[in-house]
A and B are shown apart, each in its own frame.
Chain A
Amino acid sequence: MSETITLEVLRYRPETDSEPHFQRYTVPYRDDWVVLDALNHIKDNLDATLSYRWSCHMAVCGSCGMTINNEPKLSCHTFLRDYRGGVIRVEPLDHFPIERDLVIVMDSFMEKLSGVKPWLIPKQEKPLSDGEYLQSPAELNVFHQYTQCINCVLCYAACPQVGLNEDFVGPAALALAHRYNLDSRDGGKGARADVVASNEGIWECTFVGACSQVCPKQVDPAAAIQQTKISASVDWLKDLLTPGAHR
């Protein structure tokens, strides 16, 4: 018989289960398979009732985040070969309610994301007929890393502060605010400050650093938050010395 590998998947079907429980599946082992391929194998051949989200299978759409052996991961970018000979435990991401099986409820994240006003608030409006806002490669480089977030929410699952305070705006949303604040075309820092620089914003962060460790896109939200803390403190001081002048 060819090689197999066992997956232990957390199941929860609200219409029949009172609480989640693990279910075991044995699937063929393939060197180039990712955990998502194994789940698709289960769905297509063993158990069509298993529910999970996925789409791109190339680590860019952000749908397929799961807890894999106690680590938040993209299941389309987590290879079976790294677990060969063991059991793979697959659970929904932490710190979110479970809708069903591996599907989490994302509402809170979507609200937090829009809460930080993640759109360009231009320093100076200009009509399209005047062409593009000039931006040098160096200016682009300043915020480029923070544009890479795919909203996979692995960082929310990793952050203990998110677990302890459900109102914490959280890593990805704060990193996105920072992305716009750093954009040479943007003048919206003041408008974002009441959410970003609030108690539920950057000041809820205790610099655990877990978000940046699990981020599959090297966004480094922890860095974004610490930088925002420094800049918010400087703004606060400036405001104290010259009220209202710096905005």
Chain B
Amino acid sequence: MSRRPYVRKIERNWWLQHPRYVAYMIRELTSLFVGLYCALLAIGLVRLAQGHAAWDGFVAAFSSPPGVVFQWLCLVFAIYHSVTWFALTPKAMPLMVKGEPVPGKLIVGAHYVAWAAVSAVVLMAAGV
């Protein structure tokens, strides 16, 4: 048998070999931070339930310089995650109206509008 198909190995750093893979890996990474932040908020809730002292400690930790840096980081990553995710929504949720596809920009735009609305409601509730 003269066949001898050659199988190329996937290298460990495969995701560095193309810009679009790097972008994808960053998106994956950002979801980690978004998740971490959610977990922290949950811990905050638990602390609140544990009484004043616990809650104050939690707030203090959050306001310390490392805490603030961490939150900024989370914000940046959350925004990156949302923006890239919104950009993909027309693919995941294409809409047809009267047999014509709704333009992707409209779908993406609707997401931003919804985002702004929810943020406004939250900020209002927080009394800012």
Contacts and interface: CB of A to CB of B under 8 A. Distances in A.
Please tell me whether chains A and B touch each other in their complex, using a CB distance cut-off of 8 A. Answer: yes
Contacts of A70: 17-18
Contacts of A136: 99
Interface string B3-33: 1111110100011011011001000100000
Contact of A210 (B3, B21, B101): B21
A14 to B, nearest CB: 4
B91 A142 contact: no
Contact of A227 (B21, B24, B88, B94): B94
Given A97-B6, A141-B99, A208-B21, A160 B94 contact: no
A208 B18 CA distance: 12
A138 B101 CA distance: 10
Contacts of B50: none
Contact of B91 (A14, A94, A226): A226
Nearest to B2: A15
Given A141-B99, A160-B21, A208-B24, A230 B93 contact: yes
A99 B99 contact: no
A171 to B, nearest CB: 12
Interface residues of B, number: 27
B53 interface: no
Interface in B56-84: none
Contacts of B100: 141
Contacts, number: 74
Contacts of A210: 20-21, 24
Contacts of B91: 209, 212, 220, 222-223, 226
B14 A163 contact: yes
Contacts of A99: 3, 5
Interface residues of A, number: 34
Contact of B4 (A14, A212, A230): A14
A206 B88 CA distance: 12
Given A98-B8, A209-B88, A137 B24 contact: no
Contacts of B15: 160
A222 B87 CA distance: 13
A207 B7 contact: no
A209 B24 contact: yes
A160 B14 CA distance: 8
A209 B21 CA distance: 10
B106 interface: no
B41 interface: no
Interface of A: 12, 14-15, 19-20, 70, 94, 97-99, 105, 136-139, 141-142, 160, 163-164, 206-210, 212-213, 220, 222-223, 226-227, 229-230
List the 5 closest A-B pairs by CB distance, nearest first: A138-B99, A223-B91, A226-B92, A14-B4, A97-B5
18 contacts: A15-B4, A19-B6, A70-B18, A94-B8, A98-B5, A98-B8, A99-B5, A138-B99, A141-B99, A163-B10, A210-B24, A212-B91, A223-B91, A223-B92, A223-B94, A227-B92, A227-B93, A229-B92
